[in-house]
């Protein structure tokens, strides 16, 4: 150190900080973070399109059809689209997100309005509370507009709202599945990341790299056991302490969490296999974690993103893990019903394993080259 004065200490610290890592964290990192935050804020401010499916059996009264008037008012609203469907399409279309709500007008709808006892049946998907509010608001606005134009003929209208899923569940039940997935995936990844990095210090990693295929599989199978320990702890806390309600099979939930933990472990092994230093491994982990949190649908539905951003979303394991867990815990789906999500997770697992093997092979080759150079 130049001198032991306070000023000298400051100069020394500043000079040591003039490196790529520190400058990157100070300049590039906040720029990237603010771009991502700005994009998220823009998406939050964007209203989801309201897509209402209509089943219209109403025969009208003379030349007047109250159902047609309400439907036209819906069509005239900004960000609201209307599609005509049949009764037996409601459940499938809500599941496929082709529609966000369904309206069923009975055969005598207009006639019943004049008798002050009309019923309008509305079915919501039920798991997205924000969308539920938007759908209900769109229908209410249309009914009020028609009432104002027809001397309040629609004022006695009763709207029967039914939720396809989520009936009887509170707000906590509708969001806890997100934390189940987040905790399981991230902690499993960190356990594998830290453990393999420690092995790099002792030289065990280099010995494992001698047989890349066996080494990667041994790491994943050996470390996933620690990841599996997370599952009963998380479930026990949510069910017995938080009082969470799980609609679907608890066995299905456990099996999906096991797969998620396995994927997390494989990613931890992957990050350490393709990086050379601890900082590089944790830097890659930070980047991937940010992508998972921002673009997987954890806070903002994937449907709000543009088509190019959705490509990023559908390359992330978190996207499929969230969808599968939501379908089982809230909708009561079986493993067969979430087969697409499970297959996607298995594909990501396979890719992570293959790339990790390639990384270990490079480590082995690099080690062999160094030994040959030393001999020369």
Q: Residue 259 pLDDT > 70, yes or no? A: yes
Under the banding of pLDDT at 50, 70 and 90, the label for residue 371 is: very low
Q: Residue 153 pLDDT > 70, yes or no? A: no
How far, in whole angstroms, is CA 73 from its chain's centroid?
A: 34
- Cβ contact 74:82 at 8 Å: yes
- Cβ contact 345:321 at 8 Å: yes
Distance CA 298, CA 319 (A): 8
- Cβ contact 160:121 at 8 Å: yes
Q: Are residues 314 and 366 in the same domain?
A: yes
User: Is there a domain that residue 271 lies in?
Assistant: yes
Under the banding of pLDDT at 50, 70 and 90, the label for residue 117 is: confident
More confident residue, 200 or 339: 339
Q: Residue 181 pLDDT > 80, yes or no? A: yes
The structure's pTM equals: 0.81
User: Is there a domain that residue 120 lies in?
Assistant: yes
Domain end among 163, 189, 210: 163
Task: Report pLDDT for 373.
Answer: 46
More confident residue, 45 or 52: 52
From residue 207, give the alpha-carbon distance in Å to each of 204, 361, 364.
Answer: 5, 11, 9
User: Could you read off the pLDDT of 59-70 as tens digits, one per residue?
Assistant: 988 888 888 989
DSSP state letters, 47-79: PPPEEEEEEE----BTTB-HHHHHHHHHHHSTT
Q: Are residues 147 and 228 in the same domain?
A: no
Q: Are residues 55 and 39 in the same domain?
A: no
User: Is there a domain that residue 1 lies in?
Assistant: no
Under the banding of pLDDT at 50, 70 and 90, the label for residue 147 is: confident
With CA atoms as reference, report the closest residue to 231 among 183, 289, 293, 176. Answer: 183
User: Could you read off the pLDDT of 233-248 as tens digits, one per residue?
Assistant: 999 998 998 888 999 9
Task: Report pLDDT for 132.
Answer: 87
User: Could you read off the pLDDT of 219-234 as tens digits, one per residue?
Assistant: 999 999 998 999 999 9
Domain with 155 in it: 50-163
Q: Are residues 156 and 66 in the same domain?
A: yes
Total Cβ atoms within 10 A of residue 317: 26
Q: Are residues 178 and 326 in the same domain?
A: yes
Q: Residue 346 pLDDT > 90, yes or no? A: yes
User: Could you read off the pLDDT of 297-334 as tens digits, one per residue?
Assistant: 888 888 778 888 889 999 999 999 999 999 999 999 99
CATH number at residue 121: 3.40.1710.10
Distance CA 290, CA 288 (A): 5
Q: Residue 26 pLDDT > 80, yes or no? A: no
């Amino acid at each position: 150190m130049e001198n032991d004065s306070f000023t000298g200490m400051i100069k020394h610290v500043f000079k040591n900080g003039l490196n790529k890592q520190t400058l990157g964290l100070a300049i590039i990192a906040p720029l990237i973070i603010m771009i991502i935050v700005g994009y998220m804020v823009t998406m939050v401010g964007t209203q989801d399109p309201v897509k209402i499916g209509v089943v219209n059996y109403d025969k009208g009264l003379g030349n007047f059809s109250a159902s047609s008037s309400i439907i036209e008012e819906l069509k005239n609203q900004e960000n609201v689209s209307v599609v005509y469907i049949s009764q037996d399409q409601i459940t499938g279309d809500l599941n496929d997100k082709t529609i966000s709500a369904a309206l069923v007008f009975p055969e005598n709808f207009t006639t019943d309005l004049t008798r002050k006892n009309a019923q309008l049946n509305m079915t919501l998907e039920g798991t997205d509370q924000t969308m539920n509010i938007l759908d209900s608001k769109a229908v209410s606005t249309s009914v009020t507009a028609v009432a104002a134009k027809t001397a309040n003929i629609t004022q006695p209208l009763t709207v029967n709202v039914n939720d396809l899923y989520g009936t009887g569940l509170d707000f906590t039940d509708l969001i806890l599945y997100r934390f189940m997935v987040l905790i399981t995936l991230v902690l499993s990844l960190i356990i594998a990341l830290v453990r393999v990095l420690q092995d790099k210090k002792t030289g065990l990693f280099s010995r494992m790299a001698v047989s890349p295929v066996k080494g990667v599989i041994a790491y994943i199978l050996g470390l996933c056991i620690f990841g599996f320990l997370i599952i009963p702890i998380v479930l026990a806390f949510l069910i017995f302490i938080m009082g969470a309600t799980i609609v679907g099979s608890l066995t299905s939930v456990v099996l999906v969490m096991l797969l998620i933990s396995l994927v997390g472990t494989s990613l931890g092994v992957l990050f350490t296999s393709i990086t050379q230093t601890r900082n590089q491994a944790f830097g890659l982990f930070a980047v991937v974690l940010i992508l998972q949190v921002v673009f997987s649908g954890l806070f903002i539905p994937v449907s709000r993103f543009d088509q190019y951003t959705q490509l990023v979303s559908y390359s992330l394991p978190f996207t499929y893990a969230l969808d599968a867990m939501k379908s089982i815990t809230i909708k009561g789906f079986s493993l067969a019903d979430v087969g697409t999500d499970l297959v996607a997770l298995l594909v990501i697992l396979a890719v992570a394993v293959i790339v990790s093997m390639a990384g270990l092979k490079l480590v082995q080759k690099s080690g062999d080259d160094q030994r040959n150079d030393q001999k020369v």
